[in-house]
Structure 1
Amino acid sequence: MTTINPIETRPLKPLFLSYLFPALVGMLLMSVNILVDGIFVSHGVGPTALAGVNIAVPIFSILLSISLWIGMGGATLFSIALGEGNKQRAHQLFTLAFLTMLVIVLTIIGLLLFNLRDISYIFGASDDTYPYVQDYLYVILLFGVFYTIENLLSIFIRNDGNPKLAMLGLITTSVLNIILNYVFIFMLDYGVTGCALATAIATIIGMSVLCLHFFLPQSELKFVTSFFNLTDLKKIFAIGLPSFIVEASVAVIVILYNITFLHYLGANGVTAYAMVNYIHTVLLMIFLGIGMALQPLVSYHHGAKLMERLTALLKIGLATALILGLLTSIIAMLVPSQLMALFGDSTFAIRSMAAQGFAYFAIGYIFLGINMVFAEFFQSIEKIRLATMIMLLRSLILFIPTLLILPKLFGAKAIWWAFPVVEGITALLIYTYIKKRPQTIASSSIEKV
């Protein structure tokens, strides 16, 4: 007797919401974690130490991007296999993704540890900041494998029908990170080493919470001995590529913005953008959360060939993204000064520049969510070229020339318009493409990768 998975019969709106809330909370907590380390280090150790941690963070982000790449690629195939009713293949895909990530991450960590000084200076360390970069990054790299395991497990657990546990693991990590940061920095005076230890210990405990999923009777996260398949490995890397582009392009975009603001508005412009970017980091993670909630459901329905429900899920995801985008833009335009005041001491000129800039910048959120949902949808049904093109358009192909051209034509204030213009053009291109090829959504065919 074949057992029907409740995912196939449950009403779609409550089903989507049951994934959306944990995903939004989880992604929000991840973004808060990014801010917490900087806040504690700046207040408890000093500005030079903060600069050192900021230099180390992009290096650490490499590990995160690898786990996201393999995790999203493997989990998409995992959910499709479950939708097809092929549990044995699902077990093989989980094992393959988990062990592949371990091998790659451990190799990268080894290379970074043996070349720590040279790599730190490449990423911007100086003689003043390197001691802090070394103290922070050495601990982070030693325990980095646990961070990547936690990230990969949270993705797979969400795809295995347990979004609440995935959220609980991230909540555990975030709360402990805040507590331990305070203990290690302010009470024990461990400096940036204490900050790194707080992250490491909190992550290990959060990962342990996620491991409870393995003991649930309904868990399909099982390790098997026969798992290696070169075709599957290629598919994992191909399907996960858009997620990797999202993570990897963030650093590139920040660097390009900093260079442009410095050229046109000087150090004040860079500081104003930094204030806006802190808020943008949090909001970006929230919009990514919509895609994270959509992906397991879309992949499962794609595998089960439930096309009407699949199309309905896309509409629900787009409606959610549009509503959230409109609300975000309206709030940003109504109270930009109050939002910039969250960052404490800064000159009136910088706060005014940031507030005015964010009111323009935030228009992009109307389109950002739509673009993210489409990219995640195409990624989840194995239309990798479309998903990858969307991510490349909004992060590099359209962004670089727009950032160069706008301020030259319309002045320095137009730098803030680069984000909404690029996201808007990307959304228009997606709409045009789908209008000409409606079968892109309706078809259940699997794109070869």
Structure 2
Amino acid sequence: MKSKGASSEFAKYVSQNVFAMIGMSCYILADTFFISKAVGANGITALNLVLPLYNLIFAIGSMIGVGSAIKFAIAKNQKESNKHYFFNAMFFTTVFGMIFMAIGILAPEKLVELLGGSREIVAVGAPYTKIFMSFAPLFMWNYVCNAFVRNDGSPSIAMTATVLSSLFNIVMDWVLMFPLKMGMQGAALATALSPVVGCAICCFHFASKKNTICFKPCVPSIIKLFNCAKLGVSAFVGEFSSGVITVAFNMVILKLVGNIGVASYGVVANISLVAVSVFNGVAQGSQPLISKYYAKGDKKDLEKIITLGTVTCLCLAGIIIAVINIFAAPIANVFNSEHIEELTAYAVKGLRIYFVGFIFAGLNIFLSLAFSSMSKAIPAFVISIMRGFVVILASVFLLAYLFNMTGVWLAFPLAEAITFIISLAFLANIKKKNEI
């Protein structure tokens, strides 16, 4: 009966989180689609150049939010005090959010220029950057609230918050960009306001009798923040590395083929966000369960959740790769309103090669957060660093030099395959110690 309970919990948490994470990724996808229609290839290029700023904001928000929520869940299941985690997380995300807000308001043009934007791209991207960075605290609060609600036994509310905020963004994208003709500024404003919806829906859990999250103010603690951040580091590296990878790919592609190449990578990168969100959903859905069973010392159900997560990632990877191979051309054309043949050709080839990497990427994402959920910060950190920085950056520069654009697309599959070998080694070591 116990194993059946673990299986049903896994199905509930993971299905809801996958749906929620897909919804969360859709607002950037919606931005890309509507910008391609309203502004064209320059708009996609500008969006892709500033995406690393999103990644950095989300990286810090997720590190603090997920790490604090894991600490909260483990303390709760071990009957320890967990009253300070939420306030501490909200305080420090506010501090970081205000820093991002100030930079975005004061120097948006410089930011876009530093990320590789030409004069015409800066003109398109700077207003977008200024608006969305002005709302950085809201993005971070939303991440913290969602992580705590999910770990406090309300995955349905967390899912609803994510999905409805994304739907709000998509609807407002269309309203602001087309009827109101606000262009890139409209896309930025729609994205910036969507976390308000997410936070508001999370309040339904906070107001319920089921809520155990404490709102009592306490003295902010950097030591407590650091202890939480250690468990959220895989989430941080996962988000932040996406930004670093995007910058590196943009630099290489700009030198190889110019703005059209960056626009084609924008298509590949934005579609890959949806795939990554699927595996993040599996990982984040499993996380509260792994933390719970680990805290209780229930090795049987802990191993069952990890096995279910691994099998689920492999099955989903197979489906995603098949869909991309069949529909690569129609997908690329959706984001090519100007019908630029070169853009479509690069994007189609890129989609088919790049997405092979998700056979390994899904497993790396899942295992990294699984290790964090068991307070195994070092394995989680090493996996995240390897796939997010060391191997991928070495691969893209080396393979681009050897094989031009084909090498750029091959970098992701190679990096994930190498990292997966390391993930397996860590998993085998933990099993050898009889901790699973």
Q: Same fold (TM over 0.5)?
A: yes
Distance 2:141 2:25 in 1: 18
Tell me what 2:7 maps to: 13
| Deviates most, 201-210 or 295-304 | 201-210
Q: Give structure 2 stretches of 5+ with no counterpart.
A: none
Q: Structure 1 counterpart of 2:303, which letter?
A: T
Question: Kindly, what percent of the aligned residue pairs are identical?
Answer: 24
Tell me what 2:374 maps to: 381
Q: 1:355 to 1:184 in 2, by over 3 A?
A: closer
Tell me what 1:390 maps to: 383
| TM-superposed deviation, 1:11 | 1.1
Distance 2:66 2:95 in 1: 17
Q: Structure 2 counterpart of 1:311, which letter?
A: E
**CA deviation string 1:176-206 (max 9, x = no partner):** 2222222222222333333333233333133
Tell me what 1:100 maps to: 92
Q: Structure 2 counterpart of 1:159, which letter?
A: N
Match for residue 212 of structure 1 among 179, 204, 223: 204
Tell me what 1:288 maps to: 280
Tell me what 2:59 maps to: 65
Q: 1:259 to 1:46 in 2, by over 3 A?
A: closer
The SS at the match of 1:91 is: coil
| Alignment TM-score, normalising by the size of structure 1 | 0.87
Match for residue 393 of structure 2 among 392, 400, 415: 400
Instruction: Decide whether the 8 Å contact of 2:73 with 2:151 is kept in 1.
Output: yes
Tell me what 2:413 maps to: 420
Tell me what 1:307 maps to: 299
Instruction: Decide whether the 8 Å contact of 1:72 with 1:240 is kept in 2.
Output: yes
Tell me what 2:22 maps to: 28
Q: 1:46 to 1:351 in 2, by over 3 A?
A: closer
Tell me what 1:159 maps to: 151
Pairs within 5 Å for 1:195-344: 195-226=187-218, 228-264=220-256, 269-344=261-336
Q: Does 1:44 align with 2:38?
A: yes
| TM-superposed deviation, 1:46 | 5.6
Q: Of the two structures, which has the highest relative contact order with CA contacts closer than 8 Å and spacing of 6 or more?
A: 2
| Deviates most, 232-241 or 349-358 | 349-358
Instruction: Decide whether the 8 Å contact of 2:400 with 2:407 is kept in 1.
Output: yes
| TM-superposed deviation, 1:25 | 1.4
Greater Rg by CA: 1
Instruction: Decide whether the 8 Å contact of 1:71 with 1:155 is kept in 2.
Output: yes
Q: 1:195 to 1:431 in 2, by over 3 A?
A: closer
The SS at the match of 1:398 is: helix
Instruction: Decide whether the 8 Å contact of 1:95 with 1:227 is kept in 2.
Output: no
The SS at the match of 2:85 is: helix
Instruction: Decide whether the 8 Å contact of 1:181 with 1:195 is kept in 2.
Output: yes
**CA deviation string 1:336-378 (max 9, x = no partner):** 3344343345455553443344333222111111111110111
Distance 1:357 1:128 in 2: 26
Q: Structure 2 counterpart of 1:16, which letter?
A: F
Instruction: Decide whether the 8 Å contact of 1:80 with 1:301 is kept in 2.
Output: no
Match for residue 80 of structure 1 among 65, 74, 81: 74
Q: 1:111 to 1:138 in 2, by over 3 A?
A: closer
Q: Structure 1 counterpart of 2:76, which letter?
A: L
Instruction: Decide whether the 8 Å contact of 2:253 with 2:261 is kept in 1.
Output: yes
Q: 1:333 to 1:188 in 2, by over 3 A?
A: closer
The SS at the match of 2:215 is: coil
Q: 1:299 to 1:113 in 2, by over 3 A?
A: same
Q: 1:62 to 1:426 in 2, by over 3 A?
A: closer
The SS at the match of 2:210 is: coil
Q: Structure 2 counterpart of 1:365, which letter?
A: F
Q: Structure 2 counterpart of 1:18, which letter?
A: K
Q: Structure 1 counterpart of 2:87, which letter?
A: T
The SS at the match of 1:249 is: helix
Instruction: Decide whether the 8 Å contact of 1:362 with 1:420 is kept in 2.
Output: yes
RMSD (Å), alpha carbons:
2.8
| TM-superposed deviation, 1:96 | 1.5
Q: Give structure 1 stretches of 5+ with no counterpart.
A: 1-5, 445-449
| Alignment TM-score, normalising by the size of structure 2 | 0.89
Q: 1:239 to 1:356 in 2, by over 3 A?
A: same
Instruction: Decide whether the 8 Å contact of 1:93 with 1:227 is kept in 2.
Output: no
Residue-pair matches, total: 435
Q: 1:299 to 1:261 in 2, by over 3 A?
A: same
Instruction: Decide whether the 8 Å contact of 1:261 with 1:270 is kept in 2.
Output: yes
| TM-superposed deviation, 1:110 | 2.8
